[in-house]
Structure 1
Amino acid sequence: MNKAAAFNELIRKVRKDLFSKGPERIHTTFVDNMVICMLYGNMTPTEKFIASDPAGKDMVHAARTKMIQRAYMTDFTEQLEELMGTRLVHLFADMKVEEDIAMSVFVFEDNVQK
């Protein structure tokens, strides 16, 4: 399995464990010391229902982004660092609820394109 596929599998697993549904599709790009992931089809049917209301949309967005940032600061971080061969320094995560697209940018200490 290549590095991008292995990275995607780790991402899918942590999101499935956390939300009981992983993304339907992940597009990952390595740039210098960053890994940029676009994740499509993330929300559960319940989240989609909640997000159909403006207040619910904000609630889903806040819950998803905060939970993801917390989840990546567990033993999952060690798995990412082992796969990439360098230390994870920052994680930026956001989600466009109305389009069910999430984006995560992982910033590592060293170049990940090697």
Structure 2
Amino acid sequence: MSKKVHEFNDIIRKLRKDLFGKGPERIHTVFVDNMAISTLYGNITPTEKFMSSTPEGARMIHAARTRMIKDLYAEATPEGMEELMGSKLLHLFTDIKIEEDVAISVFIFEEKITE
């Protein structure tokens, strides 16, 4: 793993830990052109696991997590992210599969990402 990928993953982990009280246990990120594609494993807190045992609870956790992440990034790009990437963040697409506890985020930057 490159230093840039490692630092990028640390930014994501810290942000999610601060937001949800628990960061992902593992993050795999690849850079493709102007995109950073991150797969996040082990995101759900014990309380969320309990709540997601019903279909309605799982839908509620999914909606809350995706909305909170999107709103946070719409408000402000995480500190240090654009500096690390050498480019402005244009868009974030994110989703989570509650049952498998796997999330994916696609970050689209203005310029091609170089390692």
Question: Do they superpose with TM above 0.5?
Answer: yes
My pick for the range that moved more, 59-68 or 75-84, is: 75-84
What is the CA-CA distance between 1:78 and the residue it aligns to?
4.7
Q: How many residues align?
A: 114
State whether residues 23 and 39 of structure 1, in contact with CA within 8 Å, keep that contact through their aligned partners in structure 2. yes
Query: Per the alignment, do residues 27 and 104 of structure 1 end up closer, same or farther by CA in structure 2, a change over 3 Å counting?
Result: same
Separation in structure 1 between the aligned mates of residue 27 and residue 71 of structure 2, nearest angstrom: 20
Q: What is the aligned partner in structure 2 of residue 26 from structure 1?
A: 27
- Kept in 1, the 8 Å contact 2:11–2:78? The answer is no
Instruction: Structure 1: state its 5+ residue gaps.
Output: none
Please, what is the CA RMSD of the aligned residues? 1.3
Q: Which residue of 2 aligns with 1:108?
A: 109
What is the match of residue 57 of structure 1? 58
Equivalent pair of 1:31/1:113 in contact (CA under 8 Å): no
Instruction: String of CA shifts for 1:35-59, please: whole Å, max 9, x gaps.
Output: 0000000000000001010000000
- Per the alignment, in what secondary structure is the counterpart of residue 98 of structure 1? coil
Q: Which runs of 5+ in 2 are unaligned?
A: none
Give the match for residue 67 of structure 1.
68
1:40 aligns with 2:44: no
Identity of aligned residues (%): 60
CA contact 1:65–1:95 (8 Å) conserved in 2: yes
Q: Does the residue aligned with 1:110 lie in a helix, a strand or coil?
A: coil
- Alignment correspondent of 1:6: 7
Instruction: Report the alpha carbon displacement of residue 80 of structure 1 after superposing the two structures with TM.
Output: 1.1
What SS class does the counterpart of residue 57 from structure 1 fall into? helix
Letter in 2 for 1:55: E
Q: How far apart in 2 are the matches of 1:82 and 1:35?
A: 14
State the alpha-carbon separation in 1 of the partners of residues 73 and 80 from structure 2.
10
- Matched with 1:82 is 83
Q: TM-score, normalised by structure 1?
A: 0.95
1:73 alignment partner, SS class: helix
Q: Match of 1:113, SS?
A: coil
What is the TM-score normalised by the length of structure 2? 0.94
